[in-house]
């Protein structure tokens, strides 16, 4: 039992170390030596657990997409209004960006690098995206929100929230405060909600 716990702890340390290294240096710039050092392991020990750098990188990307998949699909319950559903989605995406800056940035770095390692993740991501767009189109048909392109709405929400992970340093300089400050987080959250919801022709909840 103890060995199983130790193995889980080691794998967790490796994953966290890999997230930091890939976030800072991208796939090409990150080395297994640096990941091993950050995880408190010898390089030979690291390769016993990961097999290869590519396998570890795919594990990190899988962790990101799994997390996104769990929380970024619209709650399309009939009892919830479009404003409540979109607001909740914005809050989840912003919170993830603020709390998982390094993991979020890995996606951005991979996209900038050509996105070759993302091919296996696109199909499931597109299914979830299509589900959200279908909900949006239903609202438009029922005249609950103004006529718009659901794809662009989703992309704009991602762009506005992802900024606080990718450009956290710039945001803190401009806002003259730490994004760890709950008061500043709430200010950002409210502004994003107002901007997006009003743009949809909705009243912020």
Q: pTM score > 0.95 for this model?
A: no
Domain residue spans in the chain? Answer: 1-51, 58-199
Give the chain's length.
Answer: 205
Task: Report the CATH fold assignment for 58-199.
Answer: Tetracycline Repressor; domain 2 (1.10.357)
User: Is the alpha carbon torsion for 149, 155, 156, 157 positive or negative?
Assistant: positive
CATH superfamily of 1-51: Homeodomain-like (1.10.10.60)
Q: What is the mean pLDDT of residues 157-171?
A: 97
How far is residue 101 from each of residues 64, 150, 184, measured CA to CA in Å?
Answer: 11, 26, 16
pLDDT of residue 1: 46
pLDDT of residue 2: 42
pLDDT band (50, 70, 90) for residue 71: confident
Which residues, 6+ apart, have CB-to-CB distance to 119 below 8 Å? none
How many angstroms separate the CA atoms of 38 and 33, rounded?
9
Phi, psi of 201 (to 5 degrees): 80, 25
Residue 77 clears pLDDT 80, i.e. is over it: no
């Amino acid at each position: 039992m103890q060995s199983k716990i130790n193995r889980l702890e080691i794998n967790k340390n490796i994953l966290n170390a890999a997230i930091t290294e890939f976030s800072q240096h991208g796939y090409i710039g990150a080395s297994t030596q640096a990941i091993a050092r950050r995880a408190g392991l010898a390089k030979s020990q690291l390769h016993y657990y990961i097999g290869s750098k590519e396998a570890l990188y795919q594990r990190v990307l899988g962790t990101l997409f799994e997390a996104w998949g769990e929380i970024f699909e619209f709650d399309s319950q009939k009892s919830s209004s479009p404003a409540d559903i979109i607001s909740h989605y914005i809050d989840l995406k912003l919170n993830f960006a603020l709390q998982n800056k390094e993991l979020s940035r890995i996606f951005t770095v991979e996209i900038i690098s050509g996105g070759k390692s993302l091919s296996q993740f696109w199909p499931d991501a597109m299914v979830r995206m299509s589900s959200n767009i279908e909900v949006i189109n239903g609202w438009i048909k029922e005249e609950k929100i103004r006529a718009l392109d659901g794809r662009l709405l989703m992309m704009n929400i991602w762009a506005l929230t992802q900024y606080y992970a990718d450009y956290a340093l710039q945001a803190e300089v401009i806002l003259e405060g730490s994004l760890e400050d709950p008061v500043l987080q709430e200010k950002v959250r409210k502004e994003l909600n107002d901007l997006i919801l009003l743009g949809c022709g909705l009243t912020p909840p």
